[in-house]
Structure 1
């Protein structure tokens, strides 16, 4: 075999591994969980932080691998997913299942080393994503509600990893990322509507790209912004942001709300794409502001 062929094969294996575990998504989840940890901890333990990063990555990787096994035939129908390793036939179901199983075990064990509650929430996340959310995607738009639960766990998971406690603080972090899932995923469901339709997925609340969906997107965007501002009022225990940070978060929220209204006004694919990008920017910047607020004040 030539050197070029060998390097191509190695590249294929690496790229397939990235695809089966959805590396970019996994990294964003790790970022959320690390932000939650920094918010909850009094003294940063870098060993725990590293365990959380690896455990979180394995947790997301396992969920996505199981998802791609279950949806392999449907993935093959959609342009966005037809080149995934299992759907394209480059990786066998058995290999993908082995990866998913190993990642599940590694993820739960690593999170258990941090503390049992962290491992429990990690296990719940994998179960809900693979066994409830994934099968429901072809049945009902309510799948987005179910999927928002494991999607909201990482931010909260970091706090639980730091404190070994579930209370109002991680509950608030969960609420923020839970409500945020709706404008984020409905924006994705809007601009990928035709592709999703090929696979039999109807992710939008009205099953249509209409004002009803856009209205619900606005409503959940408002809930996202309100939940994000709650820590400024002293109701959330040790989770607190200063008035300056609250103003910054509020401005970020107004920006997100602006793009949600633009979707309602225009009802276009481009408006949905812009909202999706705005939602990613919002949650990332919010987590950065929360962490900086804690360590600067």
Structure 2
């Protein structure tokens, strides 16, 4: 009987661990940092690549765990979050805090072994996400602006890990992921509007599912598109883009812009969900195009 109980409990413990650290989100963030590393490096060091992936995962996992500790009471109010490990009672706050703290220490130590700047930006990311973005979510729509800063760090972090330098190149990567987050998160805020309202979260720029929000989504989609092709003009240092790659990136940007305009036209939660899905595909494909273009150019 005890064997049966342990076999039943194990998947639950694993799934709770994955959920408290938001494994899928963490892995997507790690993907961004690895793409940034590949763009910045001259010769790939697979040891550094592995350390960046591991350290990056620990940092994002820590941020997510701290976030769920702080928002445990609000998560219990919302349909999509009430079954998370802490509000459901499957995991204690102390256990989550231990996981978050250990992940923070491991993440900073591992990134520090790459170089000091990488560790510094990783630490800044955790601090801003946990101490600024999370508490601001219930106070002001400007929380999305604040949250976009740590959210944009991973792509840039990879370049810094590769070069131990912060300049125009990682700054451009940061700007691309920074502007992209507004249409992405506002789309989420739109189709989860009612659920967020239960938790008292203010995610949309106007506070409503209205034309004003839709216009801002379009504007930030345009900014994202513009920033994404800047490297083709040759003034972003070592970060360069061929005309063909820039054309592909531009078309991808037009695709996301199309769904942003469609949201403006139809104003539905379905259109917002489609924009969110397209935005995820967009940033992933753009990063892949950047990396492929570098190695075949």
Shorter chain as normaliser: what TM range?
over 0.9
* 2:146 corresponding residue in structure 1: 146
Cα deviations by residue, 1:53-99 (Å, 9 ceiling, x for unpaired): 00000000000000000000000000111011111111111111010
Offset of residue 2 of structure 1:
4.3
Paired residues for 1:22-171 under 5 Å: 22-171=22-171
Runs of 4+ that moved beyond 6 A: none
Normalising by structure 2, we get a TM-score of: 0.99
Partners of 2:149 and 2:39 lie apart in 1 by 20
Residue matched to 2:207: 207
Correspondence list, 1:271-286, <5 A: 271-286=271-286
Deviations 1:160-196 (A, max 9, x none): 0000000000000000000000000000000000100
Alpha-carbon offset, residue 4 of structure 1: 3.4
Distance 1:87 1:178 in 2: 31
Q: Secondary structure at the match of 2:238?
A: coil
Q: Secondary structure at the match of 2:236?
A: coil
How many angstroms apart in 1 are the aligned matches of 2:4 and 2:36? 44
The alignment partner of 2:241 has SS state of: coil
Q: Distance in 1 between matches of 2:129 and 2:227?
A: 24
Q: Deviation string for 1:207-238 (max 9, x for gaps)? A: 00001000000000000000001001001000
What are the residue-to-residue correspondences of 1:177-188 with 2, within 5 Å?
177-188=177-188
Give, in whole Å, the separation in 2 of the partners of 1:269 and 1:184.
Answer: 14
* Structure-1-length-normalised TM-score: 0.99
RMSD value, Cα? 0.6
Which residue of structure 2 aligns with residue 250 of structure 1?
250
- For residues 40 and 183 of structure 1, the distance between their equivalents in structure 2, rounded to whole angstroms, comes to 27
Structure 1: state its 5+ residue gaps. Answer: none
Q: Cα deviations across residues 104-163 of structure 1 (Å, max 9, x unaligned)?
A: 000000000000000000000000000000000000000000000000000000000000
Gaps of 5+ in 2: none
Residue 232 of structure 1 corresponds to which residue in structure 2?
232
In the alignment, the residues of structure 2 paired with residue 4 and residue 141 of structure 1 have an alpha-carbon distance, to the nearest angstrom, of 48
2:218 match: 218
What secondary structure does 1:273 align onto? helix
Three-state SS of the structure 1 residue aligned to 2:172 is helix
SS in 1 for 2:240: coil
What is the aligned length?
297
Q: CA deviation at 1:3?
A: 3.6
